[in-house]
Structure 1
Amino acid sequence: MIPWEHLDTAPIPGSDETLRLKRRGREYSIMLGTNELMNSRLSGSEEALARLPIEKLGAKTPHILIGGLGMGFTLRAALAVLPPDAKVTVAELVPAVVAWARGPMAEVFAGCLDDPRVSVHEGDVGALIREDAGCYNAILLDVDNGPEGLSRPGNDGLYDPRGLQFAKAALRAGGVLAVWSAAPDAGFARRLQRAGFSVEEAKVKAHRGKSGTRHVIWLAVKG
């Protein structure tokens, strides 16, 4: 079996933790300690994070905010279904992740960061949400490991009642907040409802195949 090769280590702003990029043949993995945050062979749920909320939108020229670049699966899936005049803003807290996308993982990203619809913000997605009231048709959050974060305590502010109110304010009428999670969280679903969203919970396959792990995506629509 081909051994894993360590390519790079990157600090996480606001945290004592680091991310590690590894490669085995054409397979890539981003690790936080002993936890694998993402793997280039598992893209099904990240693609669904883009596809499901965009299907709900009626906007002809939508503006989408993606929190967390990851391995670009959500971004590529969004670009595949959005019209030519759409706008996609990607916020990525760890600058090295953007550098990996243009460097060792360029094959995985397939040039999607060069799409004219895309702009990249190297910083906290929460800051954009707080600043940009009424700006977005959809906010897609794949930050940390879901509402129960692993890498950065500050991420909790995206998912608490105050953070959800900021997200709601940042959305246009009929906009969708979509949140990825590795596991179900009944408490978070209730927080979304108390924030005034109409909530749907989708269980989606981590892999494109017929079996295996399922992740959760909440689709919260602003009335």
Structure 2
Amino acid sequence: MSTAYEIPEVIDRREGPYGEVVLRRHGELLQIIANGCFLMDTSDGRSERLLVDAALRALDDRPEPNVLIGGLGVGFSLAHAAAQPRWGRITVVEREPAVIAWHRRGPLSRISADALGDPRTEIVEADLVAFVNEISATFDALCLDIDNGPDWTVTEDNGSLYSEAGLASCARALRPGGVLAVWSAQPSSNFEETLENAGFQQVRTEEIPVARGVPDVVHLGVRPG
């Protein structure tokens, strides 16, 4: 049944460390809203799955690669990664305690319960920008889905992640030959150049067709070996 004319129901509303986060039900869909900005819902998950798949394809035949997923969201990226036996350690960094709680004990557990029970999975409550600045050469893949794209961030502080300096920090978190995959709700005209200036190679953009409007995309870059 269509949800177009239904009024969303607020399931939970919390004040988090970065502002208000809300979980809503809109018909059969669950939606996450941060400071009044729509982030994502449970309508599809195709984009999140392609984000993970694109990163895995770029790693060729590397055995049991470790992946860092930036943003738990509604759980599609985590669930898809955990459903693939080829991945090794799966680390998810999420800065909102409410989102983690909604997965562990709330309505979003219907998507992520199996993945959270997977021994490869680790959930880290942290700000991704700070996290990548503190680690080095740890992961084979870094999948970012914490904003609506490089040009449409949830908070102003996130903008630093998509700068040359921020992307250089992402590169340092990757092992040689590791891949960075960044989801975006629309193509970013300058982002490929910024990735190259930050030292990434094999930079490209994969489109994800949507029912209406501009395609979603995944921007990809590889840390030199």
TM-score when normalising by structure 1: 0.89
Aligned partners of 1:74 and 1:212: how far apart in 2? Answer: 22
Aligned partners of 2:186 and 2:16: how far apart in 1? Answer: 23
Aligned residues of 2:13 and 2:23 also touching (Cα < 8 A) = yes
Aligned partners of 1:73 and 1:146: how far apart in 2? Answer: 17
Aligned partners of 1:113 and 1:154: how far apart in 2? Answer: 28
**Percent of pairs with identical residues:** 37
- Could you tell me how far 1:3 is from its partner in structure 2? 3.9
Residue 201 of structure 1 corresponds to 205
Residue 120 of structure 1 corresponds to 123
Q: Deviations over 1:100-154 (max 9, x none)?
A: 1121222132431111100000011222212221111000000121212442111
Aligned residues of 1:11 and 1:94 also touching (Cα < 8 A) = no
Aligned partners of 1:154 and 1:35: how far apart in 2? Answer: 15
Aligned partners of 1:191 and 1:144: how far apart in 2? Answer: 17
Residue 219 of structure 1 corresponds to 220
Aligned residue pair count? 216
Q: Within 5 A, what are the aligned runs for 1:50-199?
A: 50-57=52-59, 58-83=61-86, 86-102=88-104, 103-198=106-201, 199=203
Which structure exhibits the higher relative contact order, with contacts defined as CA atoms closer than 8 Å and separated by 6 or more residues?
1
Tell me which stretches of 4 or more aligned residues in structure 1 moved more than 3 Å. Answer: 32-35
Distance 1:82 1:129, change over 3 A: farther
Q: What is the root-mean-square deviation in Å for CA atoms of aligned residues? A: 1.8
Unaligned runs of 5+ in 1: none
SS at match of 1:185: coil
Unaligned runs of 5+ in 2: none
TM-score when normalising by structure 2: 0.89
SS at match of 2:190: helix
- Could you tell me how far 1:195 is from its partner in structure 2? 1.2
Aligned residues of 1:38 and 1:70 also touching (Cα < 8 A) = yes
